[in-house]
Amino acid sequence: MKVAVWDTYVTKKDGTIMHFDIIAPAEMKDEAVIHNYGKTYLKVKGQNDQPLSSEECQFCHIETVKPDWEEAIKQNGYYIYEMENCTE
């Protein structure tokens, strides 16, 4: 399976920057859907109402799915790869 990686930087309520990737099937090209995946993730992290648009989230590249991502993508349609400042 090929997946699209959407590079995302969101300013948290405390002013720090969260950096994470939204990983979705490569054929998913609807930015509104991708942004909604990110907003769902932000709610889980207590960062609801933080801006997430094409300014914060942009398509980066296509790659082959990794095994640990595949199950989440099958269940939820996407996977979040946390990189920086994603803990509360």
- Asked if residue 88 has pLDDT above 80, the reply is no
Domain annotation for the chain: domains and CATH numbers: 2-84 (3.10.510.10)
If one counts every other C-beta atom within 10 angstroms of the C-beta of residue 34, the result is 23
The answer to whether 43 and 15 have CB atoms below 8 angstroms apart is: no
Give the separation between CA 24 and CA 36, rounded to whole angstroms: 12
Gyration radius (Cα) of the chain, Å:
12
pTM: 0.94
- Asked if residue 11 has pLDDT above 80, the reply is yes
